[in-house]
Structure 1
Amino acid sequence: MIRGFATLNFYAADLEAAKAWYTELLGLEPYYQVPGGYIEWRVGDYQHELGIIDSRYAPAGATERPGGAIMHWHVDDIEAAFERLLAMGAKEYEPITKRGEGFVTASVLDPFGNVLGIMYNQHYLDVLGK
């Protein structure tokens, strides 16, 4: 039934600020945009989609604080990625934490209140290598 990660969506009240912040973080321009409503990038080895939706379109009952699941993006150097995110104005949500051999996670709150998880994941590298 579940085939794989397709699109991760975040919300931002200031869509243009979110576009600028994520464009700097990712080092690439969005590939798709709906003016005033939605921005999307294709990211990483498998071109996963990261979308930012204007918070005016958030589902009814959405909270103003982080909650739910955390999506972790693989990074090759978790310490450098974490420091870069903090230097760009993100706030620590969860510190760098070793979860087991070859698995280290951390997460931040982006300037728009979304939880952005990062992870060094040996399994990701093993699958990519095949």
Structure 2
Amino acid sequence: MFSGVAEVMYFVSDPKLAAEWYSRFFDIEITVLANPDYFFVKVGEQEVWFHQADDKVPSGVAGHVAYWQVDDFDAVLERAITLGAVLYRGPLDRKDGSYMCQVKDPFGNLIGFIGPSVKMMSENSNLDN
């Protein structure tokens, strides 16, 4: 019946500018359709779309967050912050060997990351001593 999430869509004030930021963050190319108002990036099999924010769906932090599974939590978080994202929540220890956090992108939307963190594991082991 269900085969997976088709796409993640961010509602933003400037879809092209948002697509450019995410293109830099994920280090991938932007896909532009025949309609020049729509842009997306493809990360693995997942499409991330950018749509003009409006009265029905403004940009912001009110609800759903897509969490990306990452191989190096520390590097991804540092990259996001270097490109202008702001740590919003976490990092939190999931107690399963990985950590999670949310960052706010420059357009006011949240991105979540889940993955192993050498830095966090080291800090937590120092607390145990």
Among all aligned residue pairs of Structure 1 and Structure 2, give the percentage whose two residues are the same amino acid.
29
Q: Output aligned runs, 1:19-58, within 5 Å.
A: 19-33=19-33, 34-35=35-36, 37-44=37-44, 47-55=45-53, 58=54
Query: Helix, strand or coil: the match of 2:71?
Result: coil
2-side partners of 1:48 and 1:111: how far apart? 21
Structure 1 window deviating more from structure 2 (26-35 vs 110-119): it is 26-35
Q: Normalization by structure 2: what TM-score?
A: 0.79
* Number of residue pairs the alignment of both structures matches: 115
Structure 1 residue 99: Cα displacement:
0.9
Partner in structure 1 of residue 113 of structure 2? 118
Structure 2: state its 5+ residue gaps: 117-129
Q: Deviations over 1:11-36 (max 9, x none)?
A: 1112232122111111111224331x
Structure-2 separation of matches of 1:64 and 1:48? 20
Q: Report the RMSD for the aligned CA atoms in angstroms.
A: 1.8
Please list every run of 5 or more consecutive structure 1 residues that lacks an aligned counterpart in the other structure: 122-130
Gap change, CA 1:59 and 1:5, over 3 Å in 2 = farther
> Distance between the aligned counterparts of 1:69 and 1:91, measured in 2?
17
Matched, 1:11 2:6: no
Aligned counterparts of 2:66 and 2:15: Cα–Cα separation in 1: 21
Q: Which has the larger radius of gyration?
A: 2
